[in-house]
């Protein structure tokens, strides 16, 4: 896909790479990727379908990923609130007062937070392959890895095979591209899920692109620390979300099993839950058309502006 209108945006001293597609007068869709992931992991095919559907699409690299700034987390720790502020800086950088937010995984949590803190800027919310704001994922993972049962009313932890794959998903420094791919490909096989046909070449090409764009591929691990820092919001606060909300989720998501999607939809008034058969915790080409159709339908039609 031809790239156009790339920018480096200053977000309070953090430089963020961002990229825009589509006609300037079309409604803006801001794509927010998950932890450790780059903006280009929003597949070109999905972006192309959204643009063809009449959307102005913006994707960007979170801090500590891709072509955006690296942060000394020990000296300058940040939280999900800071990542949400980065998203607003990206919108400001493109002169977009309002946007349809589409967030995957951690990006979904960031989008939920924005729907609460700046509702006048959020036209619609799509939380994809994510979980409810305020979920203690780090605690659930620690308990699962220690062999402890979930707490009462706790959402299910990631699948055991995913926890095992995550433990070996980053190679030793200096191993080069092939060493990096050797470590990463087993992770994508698990994240993809067991139902849909698995195209290893598709994931390999994506990881080659990610590796090429990052000077420190491990910096994104700081997102885990940011997500574990806690938040002033809880899942109960999602009852105050006023943006029309779509919860998109795979039936075979090993990171956030389907009860996470059900809990998100239950917490947000009027939210619509759409489960994608066979999809795991990735966005392969096989599901691009379904995802694009869901997002285009959700973001269509007149939306009344909201003010504080």
Angle at 201 between CA 197 and CA 203, to 5 degrees: 80
Q: Does residue 105 carry a catalytic annotation? A: yes
Tell me the residue ranges of DSSP E strands in 3-98.
6-11, 14-21, 28-32, 56-60
Catalytic member of 105, 127, 129, 130: 105
**What CA–CA distance (Å, rounded) separates 234 from 126?**
18
The one-character DSSP state at 285 is: G
Among the listed residues 61, 64, 86, 253, the single catalytic one is 253
Structure token digits, residue 105: 């995984």
* 44 is annotated as an active-site residue: no
How far is it, in rounded angstroms, from Cα 189 to Cα 171? 17
Q: How far apart are CA 21 and CA 58, in angstroms?
A: 6
How far, in Å, CA of 15 to CA of 7, rounded? 10
Does residue 296 sit in helix, strand or coil?
A: helix
The verdict on whether 253 is a catalytic residue reads yes
Measured distance CA(262)–CA(240) in Å, rounded: 17
Question: Known catalytic residues?
Answer: 105, 253, 281
């Amino acid at each position: 896909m031809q790239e156009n209108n790339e920018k480096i945006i200053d977000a309070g001293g953090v430089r963020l790479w961002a990229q825009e597609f589509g006609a300037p007068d079309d409604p803006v869709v801001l794509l927010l990727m998950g932890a450790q992931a780059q903006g280009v992991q929003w597949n070109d095919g999905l972006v192309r379908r959204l643009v063809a559907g009449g959307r102005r699409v913006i994707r960007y690299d979170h801090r500590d990923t891709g072509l955006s700034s690296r942060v000394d987390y020990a000296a300058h720790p940040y939280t999900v609130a800071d990542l949400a502020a980065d998203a607003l800086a990206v919108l400001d950088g493109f002169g977009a007062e309002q946007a349809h937010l589409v967030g995957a995984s951690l990006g979904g949590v960031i989008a939920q937070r924005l729907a609460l803190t700046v509702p006048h800027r959020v036209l619609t919310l799509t939380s994809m392959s994510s979980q409810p704001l305020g979920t203690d994922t780090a605690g659930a993972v620690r308990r699962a890895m220690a062999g402890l049962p979930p707490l009462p009313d706790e959402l299910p932890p990631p699948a055991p095979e995913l926890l095992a794959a995550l433990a070996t998903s980053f190679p030793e420094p200096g191993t080069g591209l092939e060493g990096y791919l050797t470590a990463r490909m087993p992770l994508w096989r698990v994240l993809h899920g067991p139902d849909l046909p698995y195209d290893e070449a598709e994931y390999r090409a994506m990881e080659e692109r990610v590796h090429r764009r990052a000077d420190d591929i491990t910096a994104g691990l700081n997102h885990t620390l940011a997500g574990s820092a806690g938040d002033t919001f809880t899942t109960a606060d999602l009852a105050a979300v006023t943006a029309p909300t779509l919860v998109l989720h795979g039936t075979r998501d090993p990171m956030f099993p389907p009860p996470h999607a059900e809990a998100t939809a239950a917490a947000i008034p009027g939210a619509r839950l759409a489960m994608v058969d066979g999809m795991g915790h990735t966005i392969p080409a096989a599901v691009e058309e379904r995802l694009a159709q869901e997002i285009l339908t959700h973001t269509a039609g007149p939306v009344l502006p909201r003010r504080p």
